[in-house]
Amino acid sequence: MNALVLTGASISVEDVAAVARDGRKVEIAPTVMERLGKARKVLDQAAASGQPIYGLNTGLGANLGTSVNGDASAFQRQLLEGRSGAVGDSLPQEIVRATMLARAAMLSTGGSGISSEVFVALIEVLNAGVHPVMPSLGSIGAGDLVLMAALGRMLTGDGDADYQGRRMPAAKALMMARLAPVSLAPKDGLSLINTSAASVGSAALAVVDALSAFAQQQQAGALTMEGVGANQTILDPRLQAARPAACQQVAAKELRELLARNEAPAPTTLQDPLSIRCMPSIHGALIQAIDHARLAVEIEINAGADNPLVLGEDELVLSTGNFHTASLALAFETLGLAIAQTAAASAARFIQLTGSGRNGLPKYLSPVGGASAGFVPLQKTVTAILAAIRHKANPVMLDFLAVSEGVEDHATQTPLAVSKCAEMIALWRRLIALELMAAAQAIDLREGLALAPATGVIHAAVRTHVPTLGEDRPLGVDAEALYASLTNGTWQA
């Protein structure tokens, strides 16, 4: 795998996932080092002129009016110590790595004025696999300072780190990796933490997961259409063009391709339930929401979002609110609602498939009938999962209090908006697994059905993990196996 070269632009959510999950190495373009050097010079000149610069020669937050003199490095260390207020479970390693890359990508735009040595040290620890232990609770989305303090402290040899699968003091981890702690120049501590990198990094991974889950949802929807003998005329491109709502044509085209064969089978009914008939509309809205979330993430990860911001070309240092991620939070609240809507339709299709005999299918999808429970007990499981998704779909971005003596009187709750969206994606994948299981069972119970080539592959993929149901057995175990395949990258459809 080729190294990811930081240039100050064009980092994608897929790049973040490759570094965070696959260990892709990171390199720095020479132009970035030139940009950082120029910005540092502008920052130093502004400070030497006596200009008040937030976090360099002033306190932070409510201490904005307090001048700072004396040992600049000591103040930056104090700044990191004083912001280390995060609590709770530690963030998973992949999110920590995504956070580290996100911060490095933002810094490479040159707006922070960070010292080149500290920037290089950040890339070195990322490539060496030295990761700060980052508690998960403390950011309200007005920058992730309290979370990011763990990264700043680790680079200076303080706090704890994860290295080679073990938690240890950061100084020991750096020594084992043959790296040295950094010394902080004026503003370096603030440059490391005054950022929404934790929100942005985790958001990038959520978008990648949403894209993967959506492809699997399209496969499950197509398999359900085969299983119930759905009327495929709903996918006619002329119908989609007549009302070209959000990405509806894209969703319908993908479903047509999954169901493509020389001659579509005769439908079992004139009109199917709305969870089937309206699939292009529901899925199209989700495509648009994912696209918007990707755009919001990739704007942030390639942007100068520091406060204060160094404008190297203009030789200015200005205060800004660029760290504030209102649009990112809104994008993920919207994505969560779109996922919930799609998940609700998947759950409805499961109920249709496993009900009291519809479209010629046996009751509960049981081939033996009688007192057999078949798939019907899983209707409770589906309902429970959907309830959890709906609960997490409730917005949080308006839930904040004024802090720091009213100086910070607005927040976005972006970390919470992103994390609950990521949890929804995991729950949604469980519904997809259950829909795939029910659809595959319906297909096995339809005599003489010849599947389309693509849906035949999907059906075969289900059957590599879940055998056809004959007599009643613990279907929860099967659902777990299929969910694991959808999640861990072994799904081969």
**338-379 pLDDT tens trace:** 999 999 999 999 999 998 777 789 999 999 988 889 999 999
Of 377, 293, 93, 47, the C-alpha closest to 190 is 47
- pLDDT of amino acid 248: 95
Burial class (CB in 10 A: 0-12, 13-18, 19+), 348: middle
Q: Within 10 Å of residue 193's Cβ, how many Cβ atoms?
A: 26
Q: Start-end ranges of CATH 1.20.200.10 in the chain?
A: 202-308+322-488
Average pLDDT over residues 448-467: 96
Residue 224's identity, in one-letter code, is: T
Chain-centroid distance of CA 192 in Å reads 22
User: Which of the residue ranges 181-195, 286-300, 330-344, 421-435 would you say has the lowest mean pLDDT?
Assistant: 181-195
The 8-class DSSP code of residue 61 comes to G
Of all residues in the chain, what percent carry a pLDDT higher than 90?
76
Q: Which residues neighbour 43 within 8 Å (Cβ) at sequence distance 6 or greater?
A: 53, 56, 113, 186, 187, 310, 317
- The one-letter amino acid code at 93 reads Q
Amino acid identity for residue 464 in this structure: T
**10-24, 56-70, 311-325: which is most confident:** 10-24
Burial (0-12, 13-18, 19+ Cβ within 10 Å), 111? buried
Name the pairing type of β-strands 87-90 and 131-132: unpaired
Q: How far apart are CA 484 and CA 125, in angstroms?
A: 31
Q: What is the mean pLDDT of the chain?
A: 93
Cβ–Cβ under 8 Å, residues 29 and 6: yes
Among the listed residues 254, 185, 186, 187, the one whose alpha carbon sits nearest the alpha carbon of residue 219: 254
**Joined tokens for residue 263:** 């001659």
**DSSP character string of 225-286:** HHHHT--GGGG-HHHHHHS--TTHHHHHHHHHHHH--SSPPPPSSSS--HHHHTHHHHHHHH
Adjacent-strand bridge partners of 168: 161
Q: Which range, of 40-54, 167-181, 233-247, averages the lowest pLDDT? A: 40-54
Block residue for tokens 């439908």: 267
d(CA 195, CA 332): 18
- Phi, psi values for residue 10, rounded to 5°: 70, 25
Q: How far apart are CA 287 and CA 339, in angstroms?
A: 10
Question: Residue 319 corresponds to which tokens in the numbers above?
Answer: 């205060």
Q: Which residues of 52-85 are buried (b: 16+ CB within 10 A; e: fewer)?
A: ebbbbbebbbeeeeeebeeebbebbbebbeebbe
Looking at the chain, the domain(s) classified CATH 1.10.275.10 span 4-195
Q: Alpha-carbon distance 112 to 304, whole Å? A: 8
More confident residue, 408 or 473: 473
3-class DSSP string for 174-232:
HHHCCCCCCCCCCCHHHHHHCCCHHHHHHHHHHHHHHHHHHHHHHHHHHHHHHHHCCCH
The top-level CATH class assigned to 202-308+322-488 is mainly alpha
Q: Are 268 and 359 in contact (CB under 8 A)?
A: yes
- Number of helices (H), then strands (E), belonging to the chain: the values are 18, 9
Number of other residues whose CB lies within 10 A of the CB of residue 31: 13
The pairing of beta strand 309-311 with beta strand 316-318: antiparallel
Structural contact between residues 27 and 3, judged by C-beta atoms closer than 8 angstroms: yes
Residue 401 is predicted with a pLDDT of 81
Any idea which of 76-85, 120-129, 146-155, 292-301 has the lowest mean pLDDT? 76-85
pLDDT in tens, 392-427: 999 988 888 888 777 778 888 999 999 999 999 999
Summarize pLDDT for 286-310 with one digit per residue, the tens: 999 999 999 999 999 999 988 889 9
Instruction: Please give the model's pTM, rounded to 2 decimal places.
Output: 0.96
How many other CB atoms are there within 10 angstroms of residue 481's CB atom? 14
* CATH architecture designation of domain 4-195: Orthogonal Bundle (1.10)
First to last CA, the chain: 24
| 252 contacts 276 by C-beta, under 8 angstroms | no
